[in-house]
Chains A and B, each alone.
Chain A
Amino acid sequence: MSLSRRDFIKNTAALTAASYIGMNLPFVAGEANAADVASWHRGTCRLCGTGCRVQLGINSKGQPVAMRGEPKSRTNFGYLCMKGMMFYKIMNHPDRLTMPLYRERKDQPFKEISWDKALDIAARKFAEAKQQYGPNSTAYYGSGQCLTEETYLFQKIMRAALQTNNVEGNPRLCMASAVGGYLTSFGADEPIGSYANIEKSSCMFLIGSNMAEAHPVIFRRVMRHKMNNKDKVKVINADPRFSATSRIADMHMQFKPGTDLAMLNAMAYTIIDEKLYDKEFIADYAVFRKGKKVLVDMEAYWKSLQDYTPEKAAKICGGNITAKMIREAARMFAKSDGTVSFWCMGINQRKRGVWANNLIHNLHILTGQLCREGADSFSLTGQPNACGGVREGGGLCHILPGHRLVVKEKLRNQVEDAWGIPRGRIAPKPGAHTIKMFQQVNSADIKAIWINCTSPAQSLPNVDLYRKGMAREDVFIVTSDIFPTRTTELSNLVLPTAFHFEKSGVYGCTERRSQLTPKVVQSPGEARPETWIATEWCARMAKYLNDPVVLQTVKPFLGKEMYVEQPQAIWDEYTQKLTKGRDNDLRGASYTVLKQMADGVQWPAPTEAFALTGGTVMKFVKGVDPMATSMSKNEKPFQFYGPAHPDKKLWIWIRPQAGADEEPDADWPMYLSTGRVIDHWHTTSMTGRIPELMRANPYSFVEINPKDAMRYGIKPNDMVEIESRRGKVTMPAKVMEGPIEGMVFAYWHDMHEDRMINKVVKDSFDPGSKEPEFKICACRIKRVSGPKALKPFIVT
């Protein structure tokens, strides 16, 4: 199905020479292969949620020159993907932001200013907004790529100093539904088990995830386990798209987008129908629920599944789904000695993402495929610190550090006491979730917003709508980052930040493991750690607001050495005071302990001795999880002590099939889905500046099924317009047996105006989790032209 090189060159030869006169490639090619490593330094990879441990090689001049995996890490065992191998190459990139930049109006050019002036401007603007328009006219939008110390500190300042809960982060766009699913099904956020369950499993159910490209090093473990046990280990891949992950699958379940809830319910039907459920496990540990307050029984649950017999579900799902396939999958799942499910954005970025999560958890609870080796319901986290920083550290509008809900007064008081601030200081209601936050930027109800380490001007769904708001002159935007992005383009104040390995801090990965990365390289120019920036900003705000509580917020950290002492003090406050006794107890994971370890500590880890062993490999199991022992209510081996379930039970949910918010119709007949490629991370602001990675995927393509391509007269590399009710983009086509017929799949990493697919995507969201439905909307496509000589593009 690929275009031959001869054909491609024939098509583009005439354009080649003319197009490339004077073109500036966004990367620095030709740097010498560095072999002069003087020392190696252990840390965590800067990219995805896997949490690979790496070693950064420094030369005698203190420059980063090489990267390799850490062989002793229990996460990656020394393996890296190409992004992990190469991200050190951007540290000395000429595009690095090195000075604070400011412009009063967004239509003016930026001017370099001093840190003193920059912090003063930021302090004055936020203080003025609070005084004139109230605390909720200020906001913070952070990232699952910030260190835990950074997220924790910023949310502390927003809540304690500015008195707003307008604290959000880009994990709202990827993991909120997984959080919602874990809380409503298990009573506690984050996976029960660890990656170690892979090697003990007999069946792996990969749904809504292209693990091979999005979590390559975890996929390596899955692939290896399958290859070592070809007949014994079964892999089921469920995805409307045939992807790189599907290569190792024994069964590929290809259903119409949005019909997977019916399919999962039909698997549950089979499990009950054929008596494959674990009666004892259900009796001991589970209850059935229909609504938040409605308890039902197995009878009612079974009745609700009558709409989802395998035959009925197969009709709903279409694609290659048959009743036989559903039954086979359910039997494999239920009967295996250990089943692990993995999923990611295909399940989370949905109108009913929480429900989809619940239905996967249902299968595990019904069959007792939990709490033992090789059995787990394992949500893959996208970003390196969505778990550690945002989900655990209080980085969303409705949660406080230590898995506490804003709405619970008792828990607010605990946080206020820990912070030494008056009770009643933290606002009692949640702030604006991400989409609401940017709607409030659009209406200028938010007057001052701080955006840290993320680029919503590219990554939000229906993005042009929100770029309009961000461009408003009456909304003051501070962006702190390492490179220019689509978001710095819409900012008033741009602050240069220290990169990974240029500052110390902790990342908490998918498997609840907190790992430390030290400072070993000096930042370029005047780039500074975010913890220093935030501390200084808050101290200046204290003067403008004339409020002693504002200063109190950062007093413990003021004046401390900015690369190690300051982040360490923040980490200590967070772990020792805010996680004490919580289900993510991290008191044992001090910097001292973390520095000694090849990898890191899985919580709960209340003591240093336990933390040094690696921490809790499996939650809720007595003898393995110290809190299962200390919180034990009875003699049973599993204790589901999670804070969200007062009854300490697992909840099996009745959830109906619910499709996408915007299904195809006569005018917009195709499904549009979007996703990632292995060579690029998110918005390409980092990976696009590395020649090897940029050349591997220089622009976004749209994958089109061969039947659809024939129907629309589209050949490989033809330019195709993808249009929705919201906007249109034009991308080159990849004609392949990837997406199911009737669906196109566009890569979202490209920041070129013509190829930013988020212009086309819909911003509807799950009513429970508020996570947007990036994965499904309706579009139409048409062939625009033959192949064009495209240029890769990065904001510089």
Chain B
Amino acid sequence: MKKQVLVLLALATLVVLAACSSMLPTATKAGHPSLSEQDMLIACSDCHREVTPTVYSEWYDSTHGIGNVKCYQCHGTYENLQVTPDMVQSCGSCHTDKLGEHTGKQTCWECHDVHSFLIN
């Protein structure tokens, strides 16, 4: 009886562990949870509206949100994802004239809060 209980416990533990690990997303190299190809066809904002609602609403109400500057323009897509964008490549695509004299040694977001882009 004791042996049976132990076996059952062991099995139960294995099941629980297996269930846990299949629920835990494995992170991509760049820091985004691993998704299937199908999931990657959902627009960033569709998931992030639910998964990171504060970031989403900050962005949506900002000049970027109203102007339809989308997530992937700063952060890239999965294979080239930058959670923290390269300032020159991303901000600099549109705000070239602000790099240098205006930014000095700072990053854009030290003064312009992401994702509202209001001056803090």
| A residues neighboring B (CB under 8 Å) | 2-6, 8-9, 12, 15-17, 19-20, 23, 25, 29-33, 35, 55, 66-69, 71, 78-82, 85, 212-213, 216, 219-220, 223-224, 227, 244, 247-248, 678-679, 691-692, 695-698, 789-790, 792
Contact = CB atoms under 8 A, between A and B. Distances in A.
A81 B38 contact: no
B103 interface: no
A248 B46 contact: no
A85 B38 contact: no
Contacts of B66: 212, 223, 247-248
A698 B42 CA distance: 8
A20 B49 CA distance: 26
Given A692-B76, A695-B41, A68 B92 contact: yes
Nearest to B92: A68
Given A33-B76, A213-B68, A223 B93 contact: no
A85 B68 CA distance: 13
B68 A678 contact: yes
Interface in B46-81: 46-47, 49-51, 63, 66-70, 72-73, 76-80
A789 B89 contact: no
Given A2-B46, A31-B80, 9 more contacts: A4-B50, A29-B79, A33-B80, A68-B92, A78-B97, A80-B94, A219-B67, A695-B41, A696-B43
Given A35-B89, A216-B68, A78 B41 contact: no
Contacts of B38: 12, 15-16, 19-20, 789
B77 A695 contact: yes
A621 B96 CA distance: 35
A85 B63 contact: no
A268 B111 CA distance: 49
The 5 closest A-B pairs by CB, nearest first: A30-B79, A71-B97, A29-B79, A698-B41, A692-B72
Contacts of A247: 66
29 contacts: A2-B46, A4-B50, A5-B42, A5-B46, A8-B42, A9-B39, A16-B38, A19-B38, A20-B38, A29-B79, A33-B86, A33-B89, A35-B86, A68-B96, A69-B93, A69-B94, A71-B96, A71-B97, A78-B97, A216-B68, A223-B66, A247-B66, A678-B68, A692-B72, A692-B76, A695-B40, A695-B77, A697-B43, A790-B41
Given A216-B67, A695-B43, A30 B80 contact: yes
Contacts of A17: 36
A19 B39 CA distance: 12
Nearest to B37: A20
B21 to A, nearest CB: 17
Contacts of B46: 2-3, 5
B82 interface: yes
A32 B70 CA distance: 20
Given A69-B93, A69-B96, A82 B47 contact: no
A660 to B, nearest CB: 29
Contact of A691 (B49, B70, B79, B82): B79
B95 interface: yes
Given A66-B89, A223-B63, A29 B68 contact: no
B43 to A, nearest CB: 5
A80 B93 contact: yes
Given A2-B49, A16-B38, A695-B41, A82 B72 contact: yes
A68 B99 CA distance: 12
Determine which residue in B40, B43, B77, B88 has the highest number of CB atoms from chain A within 10 A of its CB, and name it.
B77
Contacts of B68: 81, 212-213, 216, 244, 678
A20 B67 contact: no
A299 B97 CA distance: 55
A691 B68 CA distance: 18
Contacts of B70: 82, 678-679, 696
A85 B73 contact: yes
A5 B50 contact: yes
A234 to B, nearest CB: 17
Contacts of B95: 78
Contacts of B93: 67-69, 80, 85
Nearest to A67: B93
Contacts of A792: 41
Contacts of B37: 16, 20, 23, 25
A29 B77 contact: yes
A5 B47 contact: yes
Nearest to A20: B37
Contacts of A33: 76, 80, 82, 86, 89
Nearest to B49: A2
Contacts of A6: 50
A26 to B, nearest CB: 12
A78 B79 contact: no
Interface in B2-51: 36-44, 46-47, 49-51
A213 B63 CA distance: 14
B115 to A, nearest CB: 16
A77 to B, nearest CB: 8
Contact of A695 (B51, B69, B72, B94): B72
A16 B36 contact: yes
